[in-house]
Amino acid sequence: MNGTTAKRLVFTTLDRDGDGVVSRDDYFVRIDRVTAATRRGEEDPMVVRARAAGERAWAEMDADGDGKMTLDEYLEWVGVDAFDNICSPALGALFDLVDTDRDGALDRPEFVLLRTALGNPAGNAEAAFDVLDADGDGRVSRHDYLMSIRTHIAGEDSPMGAVLYGTGTLETSGRD
């Protein structure tokens, strides 16, 4: 899959209401859903950290400050550098919210909870877990998770990206 196709798939998942733009609400509903799914309160330091990382990411994505990001704006912005400096901390903070024992890895239920809260269908999240759990220990490390998304954004072969974002044979809609 090329980088543009991979980025379009991520954009589609971010565009929760399917109107062709990612609004601030589209973006922050992800944090809201992970917070609710983990039953953490807004004052929880991990939630505060996730929101701060989300604010930083949104400020970069919405560079013109109009409260929305079009596909063209997203394609111009997103890439390996943006992932490393902006997306990785934001996605890592959400991973950490779900990592209840704070060991740097998610088991299958935690992983599926995270990815469904982020907008992926449960079947795709299950398949993505299977791809990432290459050693079969029933766990996915934070590093492997983030690197698999980075690989997908870069347009490199990402088996996890293929199943997570619906380019495999599973469900293809990331919206409710």
- Per-residue H/E/C for 31-59: HHHHHHHCCCCCCCHHHHHHHHHHHHHHH
pLDDT in the model for residue 7: 84
According to the model, what pLDDT value does residue 163 have?
78
What global pTM score does this model have?
0.86
Neighbours of 129 (CB within 10 A): 25
Residues of the chain with pLDDT under 70: 1-2, 165-176
Task: Give me the phi and psi of 79, to 5 degrees please.
Answer: 175, -170
Contact in structure between 133 and 140 (CB atoms under 8 Å): yes
Nearest CA among 63, 66, 85 for reference residue 74: 63
pLDDT at site 128: 92
User: How far apart (Å, rounded) are the C-alpha atoms in residues 38 and 41?
Assistant: 9
Question: What whole-number distance in Å separates Cα of residue 38 and Cα of residue 154?
Answer: 30
Domains of the chain, CATH where assigned: 3-164 (1.10.238.10)
The pLDDT of residue 2: 63
Residue for token pair 């890895």 = 105
Upper half-sphere CA count for residue 106 (Cβ side, 13 Å): 26
